[in-house]
Chain A
Amino acid sequence: GAGVSQSPSNKVTEKGKDVELRCDPISGHTALYWYRQSLGQGLEFLIYFQGNSAPDKSGLPSDRFSAERTGGSVSTLTIQRTQQEDSAVYLCASSWGQGYQETQYFGPGTRLLVL
């Protein structure tokens, strides 16, 4: 079946603009994660959704970042008033069960460049 997909694959925006990044998880996966991968650094956890539970937003770096997951499936990560330091690859992952003990399947990422 299809894996995790993300769109767009690349996004170039101007400082101060808002951007929306989309993630389509594997069908039936209840858990969904967003990570940020900055150049030369490891993945940084941003947010975690599990079923209909309230999301774990503990990794969001500022209130300019938000995410939602509609119908327990597709998720959108929104960055408002983008800054140059937001430039990174944003990765989405999904898994069957609760917690990262379940294998996470990663999408190819969205490469964001803020000019």
Chain B
Amino acid sequence: AQSVTQPDIHITVSEGASLELRCNYSYGATPYLFWYVQSPGQGLQLLLKYFSGDTLVQGIKGFEAEFKRSQSSFNLRKPSVHWSDAAEYFCAVGGNNNDMRFGAGTRLTVKP
């Protein structure tokens, strides 16, 4: 079965700085990859997803992610972080079943 690792439990960045959140997956075939954001008191919201095609995926709120098969990674990036980006971010991977596996999450703190 597929699995996801998010190596960073907590990251702190200054407002305006760039951001990269790491995600590594394990799956034998081409995975379906997702990034979700969970803001305090809010439900999870899809930021972006990758199924096939261009390995650089653009999402909402200025986020992007790049699928690198050779590294089994799907890192999330944003050039300039805003205070409102403070939240928990989850990477998820799906295979050929109904079971979508989520990582443990990375909590992002944004310093003024």
- The interface size of chain A toward B, counting residues with CB under 8 Å, comes to 26
Out of B43, B99, B101, B103, which one reaches A4, CB within 8 Å? B43
* A42/B94 contact (C-beta < 8 A), A4-B43, A100-B32, A103-B46 known: no
Residues of B within 8 A of A44 (CB): 102
Residues of B within 8 A of A40 (CB): 9, 104
Indicate whether A25 reaches chain B with its CB closer than 8 angstroms: no
- State in angstroms the CA–CA spacing of A106 and B100 once bound together: 14
Indicate whether A58 reaches chain B with its CB closer than 8 angstroms: yes
In the complex, number of A-B residue pairs with CB atoms less than 8 Å apart: 60
Out of B32, B41, B94, B101, which one reaches A108, CB within 8 Å? B41
B46 touches A104 (CB 8 A): yes
Taken residue by residue from 84 to 109, chain A's Cβ proximity to chain B (1 for < 8 Å, 0 otherwise) reads as 00000001010000011101111111
Shortest B97–chain A CB gap in Å is 8
